[in-house]
């Protein structure tokens, strides 16, 4: 399942339209806490997903993403950070966030790597759409 969150959209703005269109059909959880797990509804959604492996992406890497990763790790989840789907306004904040997350045991990956890890084989009904995405 996809757990989609927005940090204070009234003040910071909503998810950009192309991404919002791709997330159509998923519930958007608005939050004001930096860590997703400090929000009761999001914490419950994570619990209900009952997944030990979590693919994490978002902004800002050094604030919301970092604090969420730390809380997920504390709950014994395996966190896989999609590094090319994470950003901070300043590269120095992005770099330090990735270093700190890796030091606490977060697995660093990329969109392409994660897609092929999930796919596992070069056939099946999902292979061609995945291959088309990365070309």
pLDDT digits (tens, 9 = 90+) for 85-99: 999 999 999 999 999
Domain ranges, ordered by start, for the chain: 4-110
Q: Specify the pLDDT at position 75.
A: 95
Q: Specify the pLDDT at position 93.
A: 99
pLDDT, tens only, 9-43? 999 999 999 999 999 999 999 999 999 999 999 99
Length of the chain counted residue by residue = 135
Q: Which of 20, 80, 88, 23 is nearest to 56 (CA)?
A: 80
Q: Specify the pLDDT at position 72.
A: 98
User: What 8-state DSSP symbol labels residue 127?
Assistant: H
pLDDT, tens only, 102-135? 999 999 999 999 999 999 999 989 999 999 988 8
Q: Specify the pLDDT at position 99.
A: 99
The pTM assigned to this predicted structure is 0.93
| pLDDT of residue 5 exceeding 90 | yes
Q: Are strands 4-7 and 53-59 parallel, antiparallel or unpaired?
A: unpaired
pLDDT, tens only, 54-68? 999 999 999 999 999
Task: Note if the bond before 20 is cis, omega within 30 degrees.
Answer: no
For residue 42 the two structure tokens come to 């999001």
Place of tokens 């797990």: 37
CA distance 23 to 3: 10
What is 4-110's CATH number? 3.40.50.850
């Amino acid at each position: 399942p996809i757990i989609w969150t927005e940090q204070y959209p009234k003040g910071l703005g909503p998810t950009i339209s192309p991404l919002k269109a791709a997330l159509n059909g998923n519930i958007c959880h608005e939050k004001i806490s930096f860590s997703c797990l400090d929000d009761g509804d999001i914490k419950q959604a994570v619990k209900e997903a009952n997944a030990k492996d979590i693919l994490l992406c978002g902004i800002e890497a050094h604030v919301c993403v970092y604090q969420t990763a730390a809380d997920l790790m504390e709950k014994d989840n395996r966190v896989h950070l999609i590094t090319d789907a994470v950003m901070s306004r300043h590269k120095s904040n992005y770099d330090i966030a990735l270093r700190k997350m890796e030091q606490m045991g977060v697995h660093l990956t990329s969109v392409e790597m994660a897609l092929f890890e999930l796919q596992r084989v070069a056939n099946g009904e999902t292979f061609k759409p995945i291959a088309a995405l990365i070309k």
